[in-house]
Amino acid sequence: MTVNGHNRAQSWAQDKLSQMTLEEKVLLLCGQDLWRTNPIPRLGVSRIKTSDGPVGVRGGIFTDGVSAASLPTGVSLAAAWDNTVIRDVCQVLIAEAKSKEVDVLLGPTVCIPRTPLGGRNFEAYSEDPFLTGKLAAEFINSIQEAGIGACIKHFVANDQETRRFFIDEKIPDRALREIALQPFQIAIRDSNPWTLMTAYNKVNGIFCSAHEFLLQSVLRDEWKWDGLAMSDWFGTNSVVPSLKAGLDLEMPGPIRRRGKHLINAHQQGLVDLTYIDASALRVLELLHKTGKSGNPDWEEGSEKADDLPGHRKILRRAAGEGIVLLKNSGNTLPLEDLSGKTIAVLGPNAARSIATGGGSSNLAPHYRTTPYVSLKSEVQSKFPTAEVQTHAGILTHRYLPLIDPAVMKNPDTGKSGVSLSLWRNMTHEGSPFMVEDRPSSNLVCYDGLPPELTTGERYSYRGRTTITPKTTGMHEISLSSCGPGKLFLDGKLLIQIERHWSSPKSALFMSYGSPEERVQIHMNAGQEYNLLLESISREPKPYEMNYMSAELEREEVQDGGRIGFLENPGDLDAFFQEAVEIARKSDYAVVVVGKDQDWETETSDMVSMDLPGRSNEFISAVSKANPKTIVVNQTGSPITMPWLENVPVVIQAWYQGQEQGNSLADVILGAVNPSGKLPITFPQRIEDSPSFDNYPGENDVVHYGEGIYAGYRYFDHRKLEPLFPFGFGISYTTFEYHNLRITPDLLLGDGKIEVQVDVTNTGSREGRETVQFYVSHINPRLGRPPRELKGWDKVTVLPGETVTACTVLDKVSVSYWDDILGKWVMEGNSEFLVTAAKHSRDAGIVATFQTGTEYQWVN
């Protein structure tokens, strides 16, 4: 927003604020419902609509809303190392936000993945603060140029899901500044996001939602940021401390901590009106920035699902750019002349769409693609005599899958789905106040309920469907519910959950449900069975409101149940061997493994770096049966690869949204020359990861013992050999670097130097190469990592051609945080190295430069 635009926003906001009562001002400081702020109709002040998130615009319904474009996840976007990709996918997000009338998009996620087990790693960009901050700035600028607010999150260090509502992170000052805060600092300096979301966790003893040092001293005083700070959903832990610290907006609504409690606190003299006014002004300014100030009578229309051909093209390219080729022995890929050949597409993810990880970034894609269908379609369109077949080989589900839509029927509509009825009592008496047709057996009662039912009043509900199995045998049915629940099959009680739960082993989002309970029951193919879930909402946890302190006990907000169903797969050993035999008889075997939204998800960290179930055993068996085995891994985090030496090809495919199958086919068949590079380090084993000795903490305290040595910095510092280093990725062509030069070779505190290197394509096909520039400080006064990424350039090079890659270094590139001075310091008269490298462990080519006199700075 321009200076004049900012001034107009301030002027309009001041005018509206001057006309408001205390009650109206306070109303602005908390949400109206799950996604919207409160309007002030008397003054023509509209509401603001928010929506998740960084990998798509879900809209205003959390579960089973209208479909949306499903983007590659954050780690895949970062693996492209390409600002053009960020800008392009943002055009999709902008159009999707407008189609769903969204004013503020809740993203990007810029927390640094600290452990390979982090359940939310897939959402974040990278383990490197510089790469993360720069990509986030590109994202924010692109979104906000269209008049839609971005919300950078989660401030700060929301990097583990284990006990995330309670964990106290003890972070040394240098690590806080150089690792956790730096991506926010870079993004705020380069893009000025209109909003920011606080994290659930504590940092050094204080909840982030009420952290005066972080929100006021750093964010507003040092960095001069003037946007709106909102809580994570249900993450406002206090009344007065959060407001005084600078948390402007409590989300979501209806009101929990603020409202009458904040008014009472003010009337008791516990909080001055100036704090209320300051936050109310920022809400009003955001309303003006999003264009709502000129439309006071705005009424929200129906959300649209606009699946556009142009968007499909953008997302297919973006997904392909992020895929990383880790190994390609004997130039097995690309697969080119496949006439008369047979390809086996095997594994648990071969015929499944694994669009994204789980949690608040999840949504219903406009469409889904799978590796098997996409490969088969592309292969047979070019090579009609080729044969492509698939087999799962193994089962890897963490929870029983939701009921297959093809075998269930809503008894009220006769169409696939579940009938969900809700009563305003706990006994299912009388007529239900709401009956919904739900498309899945994930019956989350989260949005769309009357306000009183989301803030304490209890209710009951029933979910009804019929199941018609395709096969005869012993099938499995499961239930996870928030409150006490009963699951009946043809009137017979199958599962009873007798109390309300909040378990990290729950199959329900937010971990607000019971552990999954399973039963086996014999069912006949073609026979209809009536399934009934009968449950009541959970009993709210009582807590005593204290206006001046943070509340440790969180209000539990989600309800519902999840029903799983798995038909008997038969003899699993025979199932395994069937797939191996298919591989043995094929010319190529593509094994698609990985995790999914149950294994890698918000609310739950992963239990291991290993692939689930018998995945490793399956890969080994297939590779023995077929020497041309191509392993495709779909995860957002590193995995162990005990079979690495026995397979010729490994592809890291991440979670690619709705184009996952097509983008993978493009790479395997050579339509796309892979150019992705890892934005995270792949350790050989979990014990080598920086946080291993200090994760997940004890007694709700975790110490960041690795300090400033996060990610690849740790591996370099400890001289540990990773499985694959940060920045690594190969291509179907080869590149050589030469002629590194620096202009000038003296860096002054307020100056810049340009670094250039020539890149030659020494292979036979056009390719794209990401040149990474690492800076090393020779003999620093304080300990520093051996090298740190401070620039990159992705260039396209034709065979035999030479192009120049370049970057610019400045004070940020050479400074460290001095916790005694409380400032960033560029040491004077120091020698530095800059290395142009293919990845973090590549020797590359090196040049030196000097700094001038010492320079200290804050922002």
* Cα–Cα distance measured from residue 26 to residue 148, given in angstroms and rounded to the nearest whole number: 24
* Cα–Cα distance measured from residue 351 to residue 366, given in angstroms and rounded to the nearest whole number: 18
Does residue 190 have an active-site annotation?
no
| CA 504 centroid distance within chain | 19
Sign of the C-alpha dihedral computed for residues 711, 172, 159 and 794 taken in this order: negative
Q: The tokens of 744 are what?
A: 């000038």
Contacts of 736 (CB under 8 A, 6+ apart): 759, 760, 762
Residues 392, 348 contacting (CB under 8 angstroms): yes
In degrees, rounded to 5, the angle at the alpha carbon of residue 143 between the alpha carbons of residues 139 and 54 is 60
Sign of the C-alpha dihedral computed for residues 225, 230, 235 and 236 taken in this order: positive
Strands (E), 468-599: 473-481, 485-489, 492-497, 517-523, 529-536, 559-566, 588-594
Look-up of token digits 């790469």: 131
What would you report as the CA-atom Rg of the chain, rounded to the nearest whole angstrom?
Answer: 27
* Cα–Cα distance measured from residue 22 to residue 15, given in angstroms and rounded to the nearest whole number: 15
Q: The tokens of 292 are what?
A: 């709502």
Residues in the chain, overall count = 859
**3-state DSSP call for residue 533?**
strand
Number of other residues whose CB lies within 10 A of the CB of residue 231:
27
Helix (H) / strand (E) containing 809: strand 802-809
Residues 533, 563 contacting (CB under 8 angstroms): yes
| Active-site residue, from 232, 596, 666, 793 | 232
Supply the DSSP string of 366-416, one letter for each residue: S----HHHHHHHHHHHH-TT-EEEEE--S---SSPPBPPGGGEE-TTTSSS
Closest CA to 730 of 133, 249, 275, 324: 324
Q: The tokens of 331 are what?
A: 């130039």
Positions annotated as catalytic residues are: 232
